[in-house]
Amino acid sequence: MIMRIKQISVSGLFGIFDHTIPLNMDDRITVIHGPNGFGKTAMLRILNGFFNSRYSELRTIPFSKFCVKFDNSSYIEIIKNTDYSETIENNIVFNFSQPNLDILIFSLEQIKVRPDTVDFPLSVLDNCIPGLDRIGPKTWLYNPTEELLSLEEVLERFNNLLPLNLKSQEEPDWLGKLKSNIHVRLIESQRLLNFVPNRRSKSDNRISSMLSTVSAYSYELAKLMQDKFKEYGTISQSLDRTFPMRVVKQQSSPDLTEEELRNQLNELEETRSRLIEVGLLDQDEDSEFQIQPQDIDESTKNALSVYVEDVEKKLNVFTEIATKINLLKIIINNKFSYKEIDFSKEKGFIFTTLSNSSLSDSKTLSPTDLSSGEQHELVLLYELLFKVQPNSLVLIDEPELSLHVGWQVQFLKDLQEITKLADLDILLATHSPDIIQDRWDLTVELKGPGK
């Protein structure tokens, strides 16, 4: 059963702050605001660190207790022992409380690994883990988050990328089940570089393993569109093969009037046009749409009713992705000045410049030709629409980054459209009143000690 988070709270954050944040369960958008340094980003990182097993986040951010309450009256406490002396093995404990049941407890062990016990050269870490730079004998800089990581933290966080199977601490079933019921995704403020492993050659400079996120997402969307088109083709072949048999089996004309059939055919034509507009169908993909509404008579009713059902099944393959692409297109084209976004199965995003003088002056742009603000907006919208599974809690850190005031003003309204379509809860951290506008009812202010 999918649970929802209804409140998060922290005690002793940075040794100073105690915060409680109730989430807006009906509006599904909660905005944390407050001065810099009060812990907005830290709270998002702790929440994301727990549910996505990035436990180094829990170890590096100073706090004493973090509590997550769910909509079924259960809650999880992350209790941190601030005494880091070597005599204390377990400095983080998870307590899971459910109504009328015993408390479930799990102690998180500190990974202890000595360099002389690792059976590969430590220099391999730089090649295996994109964005990681070794800056000391036992210290690495992780560029995407600008974190300094110890060897233990590197091995814990990037275990799946390493050339060894470092046995992680086995977690209890109840903890795995809890995490599987709560989907959390963090969209960080630094989101324009997508770090991908370089598989070509060890001699390649590692800068080649850094791909702009807009380029990566453009390729990814093209692949999603191609996969849907293949699915469409498979269903079409199956239905076309059995079409004559199903027409013959339909003994009598269905209880449909000619006007109803005409309306259905017109609706299918409109759907096909919308799919062409968002790049999911080609312009010449209309060989099966040649029957005109005026051709309907009693003798063709049987065949047309089966035909209409078949085409609906074929086009339904595209319903979800087409709706998301269309919303992305509307939002982007309303915001980007003198640029227009289109889509294709081959390239994903296609941008063209808009000229007031003539269409011949328009120019095709690469996604990387967009300004940093435009790239931030495109990446954020794409992640919300295409990268996050339904019923997730999405954490957004500083969405105002690189967005001019006009876009910030529109941001919450765009977010409301996306949450309805993608079925998401949003928790965002900002210090921009332009983001909030008149929706202070959605906000929770972080205050200083004793306030």
Query: Which run of H or E residues covers position 379?
Result: helix 372-382
pLDDT confidence tier of residue 177, bands split at 50, 70 and 90 = very high
pLDDT digits (tens, 9 = 90+) for 317-329: 999 999 999 999 9
Ranking 290-299, 315-324, 432-441 by mean pLDDT, the lowest is 290-299
CB atoms within 10 A of CB 137: 8
Report, as an integer, the average pLDDT of 385-390: 91
Mean pLDDT score, 367-383: 89
Rg (CA), the chain: 27
Q: What is the pLDDT of residues 47-70, one digit of tens each?
A: 999 998 888 788 889 999 999 999
Token pair belonging to 300 = 């063709």
Least confident piece of the model among 39-43, 116-120, 138-142, 427-431: 116-120
User: 260: pLDDT confidence band, cut at 50, 70 and 90?
Assistant: confident
Ramachandran sector of residue 73 (left: φ over 0; alpha: ψ -120 to 50; beta: rest): left
In single-letter form, the type of residue at position 437 comes to Q
Count how many residues are written for the chain: 451
pLDDT band at residue 205, thresholds of 50, 70 and 90?
very low
State how far the Cα of 56 lies from the Cα of 154, in Å rounded to an integer.
9
pLDDT at residue 208, as a whole number = 34
CB-based contact 95:69 (threshold 8 Å): no
Structure tokens at 85: 């002396």
- What distance, in Å, lies between the first and last C-alpha atoms of the chain? 38
Instruction: Give 217: exposed, middle or buried? Use CB within 10 Å, 0-12, 13-18, 19+.
Output: buried
3-state SS class at 364: strand
Confidence check: pLDDT of 435 > 50: yes
Question: Rounded mean pLDDT of the chain?
Answer: 83
Question: In whole angstroms, what is the distance from residue 89 CA to residue 111 CA?
Answer: 10
pLDDT bracket for residue 345 (50, 70, 90): very high
Fold classified for 322-445:
Rossmann fold (3.40.50)
For residue 304, what pLDDT band results from cuts at 50, 70 and 90? confident
DSSP string computed for 146-189: TEEEEHHHHHHHTGGGSSS-PPPPPPPHHHHHHHHH-EEEEE-S
Measured between alpha carbons, how far is residue 274 from residues 136, 206, 236 in Å? 56, 42, 19
Pick from 155-169, 224-238, 349-363 the range whose average pLDDT is largest. Answer: 224-238
177: left (phi over 0), alpha (psi -120 to 50) or beta: alpha
The angle subtended at Cα 188 by Cα 182 and Cα 189, nearest 5°, is: 155
User: Do the beta carbons of residue 82 and residue 92 sit within 8 Å?
Assistant: no
Residue 201 has pLDDT above 60, yes or no: no
Summarize the confidence of residues 155-171 as an average pLDDT. 63
pLDDT at residue 216 is higher than 80: yes
Tokens of 291: 């029957």
Alpha helices in 182-300 (DSSP H): 213-249, 258-277
Which band of pLDDT confidence, cut at 50, 70 and 90, is reported for residue 10?
very high
Percent of the chain whose pLDDT exceeds 90: 47
Residue 38, burial from CB neighbour count under 10 angstroms (0-12, 13-18, 19+)? buried
Q: What pLDDT sits at residue 211? A: 60
**Strand, helix or coil at 346?**
coil
- DSSP state at residue 102: P
E strand residue ranges, 14-74: 17-22, 29-33, 65-70
- For 31, the token pair is 């905005």
Instruction: Indicate if the pLDDT at residue 31 is higher than 50.
Output: yes
For residue range 80-94, list pLDDT tens digits in order.
Answer: 875 544 444 457 999
pLDDT at 356: 62
Read off the pLDDT of residues 124-150 as tens digits, 9 standing for 90 and up.
777 778 888 888 877 888 777 667 787
pLDDT at residue 198 in the model: 38
Average pLDDT over residues 224-251: 89
Is the pLDDT at 46 greater than 90? The verdict is yes
Burial class (CB in 10 A: 0-12, 13-18, 19+), 64: middle
Bridge pairing between strands 147-150 and 139-142: antiparallel
> CA geometry: angle at 188 spanning 429 and 92, to 5°?
85
More confident residue, 164 or 101: 101
Tell me the average pLDDT across 166-176. Answer: 77
- Mean pLDDT of all residues in 119-124: 69
Average pLDDT over residues 214-235: 94
pLDDT classification of 172: cutoffs 50, 70, 90:
very high
Q: What is the DSSP string of 114-143?
A: -GGG-SS-TTHHHHHSTTEEEEETTEEEET
User: Residue 298 above 80 pLDDT?
Assistant: no
Please report, for the chain, how many H helices and E strands are present, in that order: 12, 19
pLDDT of residue 203: 41
Torsion angle defined by CA atoms of residues 260, 266, 267 and 270, in that order, rounded to the nearest 10 degrees: -170
pLDDT digits (tens, 9 = 90+) for 267-289: 988 999 999 999 999 876 554 54
Q: Three-class SS of residue 245?
A: helix
Sequence-distant (≥ 6) Cβ neighbours of residue 114 within 8 angstroms: none
- Full DSSP string of 17-32: EEEEEE--TTT-EEEE
**Residue ranges matching CATH 3.40.50.300 in the chain:** 322-445
Model pLDDT, residue 285: 58
| Gap between the Cα atoms of 208 and 298, Å rounded | 65
More confident residue, 91 or 1: 91
Q: For 292, how many CA atoms within 13 A lie in the half-sphere containing its CB?
A: 2
